[in-house]
Structure 1
Amino acid sequence: MGKSLEEVHQSVATQNKKTGFRKILAFLGPAYLVSVGYMDPGNWATDIAGGSQFGYSLLWVLLMSNLMALLLQSLSARLGIVTQRDLAQASRETYSKFINYILYFLAEIAIAACDLAEVLGMAIGINLLFDIPLIEGVLITVLDTFLLLFLINKGIRKMEAFIIVLVAIIGFSFIFEMIFAEPELDKVLYGLIPSMPNSAALYIAIGIIGATVMPHNLYLHSSLVQTRKFDRTPAGIKQALKYNLIDSTIALNLAFFVNAAILILAAATFYKNGMFEVAEIQDAHQFLEPLLGTKWAPILFAVALIAAGQSSTVTGTLAGQIVMEGYLNLRIQPWVRRIITRLIAIVPAVVVILIYGDSVTGKLLILSQVILSLQLGFAIIPLIHFVSDKSKMKGFHISRTTQIAAWIIALIIVSLNAKLVYDEISSWIEAASHPIILWLTVVPLAFGFLGLLLYIVFKPFIARAKSNIDNHSPHHLKLVYAPKEIYSKKNIAISVDFSKADEAALNNAFELGGIDAQYTLIHIVETVGALMYGQHVDDHETTIDEKLLLEYKEMLSQKGFRIETELGFGKPNTVIPKIINTGNFDILVMGTHGHTGLKDILFGTTVDKLRHKISIPLLIVKK
């Protein structure tokens, strides 16, 4: 398994920091790169719409979204710190190749949709600040293609510094906007109390939540935390988890401030003046100067918008690299990756703007958020499964309380996003002149996504239950021995698969060798991870199999037998012959009733292919 973001992996040392403050400072940074996704242009439209239509009353939705995001991002950081795998790599080790291809495809669509929002946001900002036509502004955004290459070559700390500067620009811009707008503080505080004025407010609230938690940020955070080099002891890991939680809390609270400031600005200007229909970024910019009485208000608004788009596009590209390398183990030139991502976002934006004009940008922004909503569950649910896995997390799995909180959050987010998607598809069908096309394409696709989501939710639970039944048989398996008096073999290999077939294989082996022979128990791990990464795999089944093999050794050693073990990885009919031919064995003993995880070491399948590859006798024992 390759390292996540290999060019900056463990490039920031934390061990040599003597003071506590310098130690914390060494860990701070990754969450700031993540936080820009929570204040990207895609969030602006929902915040403006919420503030202009309902004043301060939806501020609590932003606060709730921020708390949800904080928990999910802390889980993402935990996965990266403990397992040294990003979310894409962990998914690749867990699911089948077919499922991983689908998850990769969905993640790429989400990143392209996010990039679309960032392209439009930057283009709108450039248009508002310099009066450059929107279509030209979209094309100008291609020029930042090489900015990421420059930053990544300077090191991750330089990139983090650049992003923090952009975040600071956004933050200071809205501090001044707040000063200009003079919001009513009592109403701001009242807005933090949960309330829902009407069904239209619920729709906006769903949009705010859907736009707040970004799926690509979960991939990104689990990788960025691996840029820190720290002691891989339990104490070192615990300290890294603590400092990264501090990092996430500070960064995401800054993102909450920006989103809240946008909503408060819309409430204090548009809602206050009865302008309830302002939802477009361009309209908000246009009305700021006459309403607030200063030319600096729209200028700072546009500058913040450009900074938000630029910072988000850098981190979006990093997420794209992480997803591609994690799911496909495919590394391509960073500039090629960047251009592909940007073109996927620019081409539809240019085509739609050319056909429908500038007024359609708001609808494109909303569409990008709907696409993100579709993908969100496919990132959240695997993440919760992974950090709840005791074996995968090596003792740093989340508590039962945290698991319950995480599943509640996942249920809320997925349900709200499902409603958003349902409403959007319903509106498309109502507005379409030929709805049958949508019924034959979009609707089946949505049901396909639902089926995949349910599979991802329940598959680990089923696999864990099956693992408990199939993989733990030695705890219940009573091996009965019938020793003989005549023995001829001195070095015997036995293929075991932790099923009842092992009893027959072991007894027959002991009949051949007796108490004085040397026995080697061979077990082959044939998970997807083992097939792809060989001995470097670190998945749940491998850990279980190692443990069970050692239990066999201990059990049989106590009975006086001389036992060695050999754990192989890959296809049994390829790996077993390699082990046999490199050892000094007299005979190989195999049972015919195999373990399904090994594609059944069955008589006539594995055996037929294997027997021609070994140069020693093969004893096949029927159960």
Structure 2
Amino acid sequence: MPKTGAVSDDTMLAARPVASRPRRRVWMLGPALVAGVAYLDPGNVASNMTAGAKYGYLLVWVVVLANLIAWLVQYLSAKLGVVTGQSLPELLGARFRRRGPRIAYWLQAELVAIATDIAEVIGGAVALQLLFGLPLVVGGVITGVVSLLLLTVQRQPRTFEFVIMGLVAVIAVGFVAGVFVAPPSASGIASGLMPRFEGSGSVLLAASILGATIMPHAVYAHSALARDRFATSTVAVPRLLRATRWDVSIAMAVAGAVNVCILLLAASALTGVGGTDTLEGAYAALHDGVGPVVATLFAVGLLASGLASTSVGAYAGAEIMHGLLHARIPLLVRRAISLIPALLLLAIDADPTQALVLSQVVLSFGIPFALIPLIALTARREVLGRYRNRVLTTVAGVAASVFLIVLNGMLLVLLTSEA
């Protein structure tokens, strides 16, 4: 597999021989399912729950649109890793000629990684408090320690994938079960598919949903996960890309369904109920209105979400530093350091749900910095050769980037006018 990230001869890209014994496509699934856990983190839960509780079905269209954009983004990220044998941070690091811009780009990417960690650790801490009554700081420490244990299997990609996929199954059951107990309104869902906003609060939540769904660190991580998984593969590139499309489709279908179900559950069971704009309030309302089983499953799903996503976030942060600064620190050390901001917020009694939602807004502002370079690189022949984007793919990527930038601009104007 080429390792330079700049290929001018298409035949080099297809030179990987086909394995003498055909491998089943299922063997090639996994990287997207791991990266996709970023779309099921506690930030998604907080954003979607808050949106459903406050605005009912209004923002269903945002969740659906975000998932469609996410499919395109994650496929392009994986394709970049499969074809070039390098991650997006590595390719960008090689293209920044001057140290200053490279460090500036790394700083914003690290800010995104920190915001991700805050959401994941706080989510795990809230879940442990709901389930066992633990203080938030203690729950945050436990979440961090368990995530460190999960990272010990990261050097074995297949084992790591199975662990994460097991947690994804728990997340799906935990968040989807309530929809069958409290079915949403069909007419409400239909109305929620019509794009519209109701005031600056709904714009803020839309940006939060987009930031939680289209995760910048997932873009960086997916290219690295694909690179690591297929680094020694003897399967031809076209077949790997076909399997990758299936991998991404399955991952995004799962993530999209769960996210929609979270919002629908809140819209059907929590709209108009006081105090449901927090995770704790939502849990209490579910417990009283839908039943203790659904409420407990919700808390278990939230805990699995925090544990799984924090491991993937740490992996992404390490790849960002390696690719842009050409430096590595031990993954476990990095994870321990990245816990500090989240634990500080818990220690000063910051509102957990508000911190989660605002962390997703920070992520939404980091999206263009990951998405624009990704679209640009995957459209260039010298990077991907004959596997570069088709014109329609590039147009779709540009349109998604423009939409996200405009939404963030609206958000900034609205927040400034209300300050």
Q: TM-score, normalised by structure 1?
A: 0.62
C-alpha displacement at 1:324, in angstroms?
1.1
Pick the aligned partner of 1:388 from 365, 379, 388.
379
C-alpha displacement at 1:89, in angstroms?
0.5
Find the aligned partners of 1:276 and 1:126 in 2 and give their Cα distance.
Answer: 23
Residues 344, 207 of structure 1: CA spacing in aligned structure 2 closer, same or farther, 3 A cutoff?
Answer: closer
Structure 2 portions without partners, runs of 5+: 6-16
C-alpha displacement at 1:166, in angstroms?
0.7
Question: Which structure has greater helix proportion?
Answer: 2
Structure 1 portions without partners, runs of 5+: 5-12, 431-623
Deviations 1:395-436 (A, max 9, x none): 211011111110010011122123334444555xx3xxxxxx
Residues 218, 182 of structure 1: CA spacing in aligned structure 2 closer, same or farther, 3 A cutoff?
Answer: same
Pick the aligned partner of 1:288 from 286, 289, 294.
286
Percentage of identical aligned residues: 33
Residue 195 of structure 2 corresponds to 194
Find the aligned partners of 1:261 and 1:216 in 2 and give their Cα distance.
Answer: 24
Determine whether 1:102 maps to 2:104. Answer: yes
Residues 40, 229 of structure 1: CA spacing in aligned structure 2 closer, same or farther, 3 A cutoff?
Answer: closer
Residue 8 of structure 2 corresponds to none
Q: Is the 8 A contact 2:81 2:223 kept in 1?
A: yes
Deviations 1:559-605 (A, max 9, x none): xxxxxxxxxxxxxxxxxxxxxxxxxxxxxxxxxxxxxxxxxxxxxxx
Q: Output the amino acid matched with 1:101.
A: I
C-alpha displacement at 1:17, in angstroms?
5.4
User: Which one scores higher on RCO, CA 8 angstroms, separation ≥ 6?
Assistant: 2
Find the aligned partners of 1:199 and 1:333 in 2 and give their Cα distance.
Answer: 42
Residue 367 of structure 1 corresponds to 358
C-alpha displacement at 1:195, in angstroms?
4.2
**What does residue range 204-215 of structure 1 map to in structure 2 within 5 Å?**
204-215=205-216
Q: Is the 8 A contact 1:104 1:327 kept in 2?
A: yes
Q: Is the 8 A contact 1:230 1:236 kept in 2?
A: no
Residues 60, 152 of structure 1: CA spacing in aligned structure 2 closer, same or farther, 3 A cutoff?
Answer: same
Determine whether 1:352 maps to 2:354. Answer: no
Q: CA RMSD in A?
A: 2.5
Find the aligned partners of 2:417 and 2:408 in 1 and give their Cα distance.
Answer: 14
Q: Output the amino acid matched with 1:278.
A: T
Residues 317, 76 of structure 1: CA spacing in aligned structure 2 closer, same or farther, 3 A cutoff?
Answer: same
Pick the aligned partner of 1:279 from 274, 277, 280.
277
**What does residue range 351-500 of structure 1 map to in structure 2 within 5 Å?**
351-353=347-349, 360-424=351-415, 430=419
Determine whether 1:336 maps to 2:336. Answer: no
Deviations 1:39-61 (A, max 9, x none): 11111222112212222232121
Structure 1 SS opposite 2:86? coil
Q: Is the 8 A contact 1:210 1:413 kept in 2?
A: no
Q: Output the amino acid matched with 2:308.
A: S
Residue 305 of structure 2 corresponds to 308
Deviations 1:536-557 (A, max 9, x none): xxxxxxxxxxxxxxxxxxxxxx
Q: Output the amino acid matched with 1:375.
A: G
Q: Output the amino acid matched with 1:415.
A: V
Residue 124 of structure 1 corresponds to 126
Find the aligned partners of 2:416 and 2:20 in 1 and give their Cα distance.
Answer: 55
C-alpha displacement at 1:377, in angstroms?
1.3
Q: Is the 8 A contact 2:209 2:360 kept in 1?
A: no
Residue 267 of structure 1 corresponds to 267
Residue 72 of structure 2 corresponds to 71
Find the aligned partners of 1:349 and 1:373 in 2 and give their Cα distance.
Answer: 20
C-alpha displacement at 1:345, in angstroms?
3.3
Structure 2 SS opposite 1:15? coil
Q: Is the 8 A contact 2:378 2:388 kept in 1?
A: yes
Determine whether 1:246 maps to 2:246. Answer: yes
Once structures 1 and 2 are overlaid, which stretch shifts more, 376-385 or 303-312?
376-385
Q: Output the amino acid matched with 1:325.
A: H
Q: Output the amino acid matched with 1:338.
A: R
Residue 142 of structure 1 corresponds to 144
Find the aligned partners of 1:220 and 1:368 in 2 and give their Cα distance.
Answer: 19
Residues 330, 189 of structure 1: CA spacing in aligned structure 2 closer, same or farther, 3 A cutoff?
Answer: same
Q: Output the amino acid matched with 1:379.
A: A
